[in-house]
Amino acid sequence: MSEVHAIKDLNTIKLMSILLSKRYGQQIADVWDVGVNVALRISDLLSIRFEDINEDKLVLRECKTGKLAHILLNQRAFEIIKRIKTTHPTHDYVFQSHRSRFVINKQPRPLSRRIVSKAFKEVGQELGIVLGTHSMRKTRGYHLYKQTNDIARVMRMLRHSSEAQTLRYIGITQQDIDADFRHLVL
């Protein structure tokens, strides 16, 4: 399995959403749009229930770490989630699977990680970028780092335990560091 990347170009992030909507539907595009704004792992993102959201605050226990995540939803994520709730008022999950909606006595389930991963991979190939479900988190972390140059802040957002892990995760390369030295003239 190859390592997936962050999307470093802001226009490509928007294009990703457009292509996902055209190729796979609005629900998969919404997964991307919310995911890139909340920086959760895919298992946590897909497991968000409407009851986990109180006004503009998301609180959930992360599957992988068991840590409690408190995330203030930005305007973009909040509006998408609000639209989903308005469109599907009886859903339990923000990204609920529509596949089993006609099966009687079937418990609601979120979208599968597999379908989201497949969609991201295929659109990524179209864009010439190796993408997967972690690309949302990596993209958010990369852009926060480029905006603030505060690796500790990015570490806290991603709930990582070391700076080295975070730098490697968001794809900060020696080329990026060299460019920073070249462009920052004092």
The torsion angle over the Cα atoms of residues 93, 100, 125 and 33, rounded to 10 degrees, is -20
Strand order in the sheet with 57-61: 53-54, 57-61, 68-72
Is the Cβ–Cβ distance between 140 and 153 less than 8 Å?
no
Strand 57-61 and strand 68-72: the pairing is antiparallel
In DSSP terms, which residues pair with 68 in a beta bridge? 61
Residue with tokens 């170009």: 9
Distance of CA 75 to the CA centre of its chain: 15
CB environment 104-143: b (16+ within 10 A), e (fewer):
eeeeeebbeeeebbebbbebbeeeebebbbbbbbbbbbbb
| CA torsion, ordered 114, 120, 123, 128, to nearest 10 deg | -120
| Residues known to be catalytic | 41, 64, 134, 137, 160, 169
